């Protein structure tokens, strides 16, 4: 899997290089992403059949109507995400109330989905939602917000910090605590909280250190989630990885919807074209973005992280 991940990153790097060298404004990258999404649809259907095979002999079977409603809700939710994503690349003159309504509907849909899965991985759900939100917060929001600190190189600094933290996080905390699991867990959680607090300081150096601390936590948490999921005796190991990425995706979508909601609401109140945040050309509105978007997202992420730490079982 590691080799496959690095292959994907290498191909992504090649696409970005082509985009930048030909001045395509990431059109090639978005087009390839759209094709990959379309290609994933048949795989998703096959994966659904694969999952159902594990439960064909169980006494309680899910009614077909339930499957239909799940499909419809998912379609509505992801259609809303697609529209919001389009706003980043196309100039659609949608009224603010329409965009906010789309965001609200998507949030309701994903809340229903989460409620219907309330009995699935109850001890891990908060942790996985937090993981997804953090990844979205770092890779989506901060890859754009970093422009105000480092201009065009900011996005690449964020990606580099994420890769460094993700790959080295587990090893760093294990070495610092001399492989004491409980201490490593507490230290990683402390790193997560301190990282959020440092992000509140509008300074270049504290910004980089904060992102590194958060990504180190993500890097430590990812393999420990895998280990605990597969060691748990009450969880179907074949489905554990599917549930892990499903709930992580929910957390990431929650982060995206929260960010879009703040952008649209503030743009309507301040009469500023804040959707230009996705293609910044100057840093004139740094404090507006920082106060109205950055700080609220940090506090929301911090609240979810505290909730995760409270619910996360402590290693002895």
Show the CA angle centred on residue 200, arms to residues 261 and 298, nearest 5°. Answer: 35
Question: What pLDDT was estimated at residue 59?
Answer: 47
Reported as a single tens digit per residue, the pLDDT across 111-151 is: 888 888 888 888 888 999 999 999 999 999 999 999 999 98
The secondary structure of 5-64 as a DSSP string is: HHHHHHHHHHHHHHHHHTT-TTHHHHHHHHHHHHHHHHHHHHHHHHHHHTTTT-SS---H
Residue 91 has pLDDT above 90, yes or no: no
Region of poorest pLDDT, from 24-33, 177-186, 233-242: 233-242
E runs forming strands in the chain: none
Tokens of 223: 């393999």
Q: Looking at residue 238, what is its pLDDT?
A: 67
| Residue 48 pLDDT | 64
Map tokens 């004139």 to a residue. 284
CA-based end-to-end distance of the chain = 30
Quick one: CA torsion of 138, 142, 143, 144, rounded to 10 degrees?
A: 150
Which pLDDT score, from 0 to 100, does residue 35 have?
87
Share of the chain above pLDDT 70, in %: 87
Kindly report, residue by residue over 264-307, the tens digit of the pLDDT.
888 888 887 777 788 777 777 899 889 999 999 999 999 999 99
Q: Are 148 and 289 a contacting pair, CB within 8 Å?
A: yes
**Is residue 56 over pLDDT 60?**
no
Q: How do residues 149-196 score in pLDDT, each as one tens digit?
A: 998 899 889 999 999 999 999 999 999 999 999 999 999 999 999 999
If you ran DSSP here, which 8-state letter would residue 285 be given?
T
């Amino acid at each position: 899997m590691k080799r496959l991940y690095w292959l994907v990153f290498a191909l992504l790097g090649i696409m970005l290089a082509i985009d930048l060298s030909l001045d395509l404004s990431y059109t090639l990258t978005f087009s390839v992403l759209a094709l990959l999404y379309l290609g994933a649809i048949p795989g998703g259907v096959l994966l659904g059949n694969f999952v159902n095979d594990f439960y064909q002999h169980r006494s309680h079977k899910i009614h077909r109507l339930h499957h239909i409603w799940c499909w419809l809700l998912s379609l509505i939710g992801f259609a809303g995400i697609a529209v919001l994503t389009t706003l980043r690349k196309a100039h659609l003159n949608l009224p603010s109330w329409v965009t906010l309504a789309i965001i609200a509907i998507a949030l309701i849909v994903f809340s229903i989905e989460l409620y219907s899965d309330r009995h699935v991985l109850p001890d891990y759900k908060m942790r996985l939602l937090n993981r997804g939100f953090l990844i979205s917060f770092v890779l989506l929001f901060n890859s754009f917000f970093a422009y105000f600190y480092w201009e065009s190189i900011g996005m690449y600094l964020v990606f580099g910090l994420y890769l460094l933290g993700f790959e080295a996080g587990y090893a760093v905390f294990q070495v610092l605590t001399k492989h004491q699991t409980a201490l490593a867990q507490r230290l990683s959680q402390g790193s997560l909280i301190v990282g959020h607090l440092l992000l509140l300081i509008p300074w270049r150096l504290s910004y980089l250190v904060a992102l590194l601390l958060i990504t180190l936590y993500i890097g430590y948490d990812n393999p420990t989630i895998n280990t605990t999921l597969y060691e748990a005796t009450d969880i179907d190991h074949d489905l554990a990885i599917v549930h892990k990425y499903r709930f992580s995706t929910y957390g990431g979508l929650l982060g995206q919807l929260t960010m879009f909601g703040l952008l649209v609401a503030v743009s309507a109140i301040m009469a500023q074209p804040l959707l230009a945040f996705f293609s910044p050309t100057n840093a004139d509105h740094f404090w507006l973005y920082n106060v109205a978007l950055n700080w609220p997202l940090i506090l929301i992420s911090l609240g979810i992280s505290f909730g995760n730490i409270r619910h996360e079982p402590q290693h002895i």
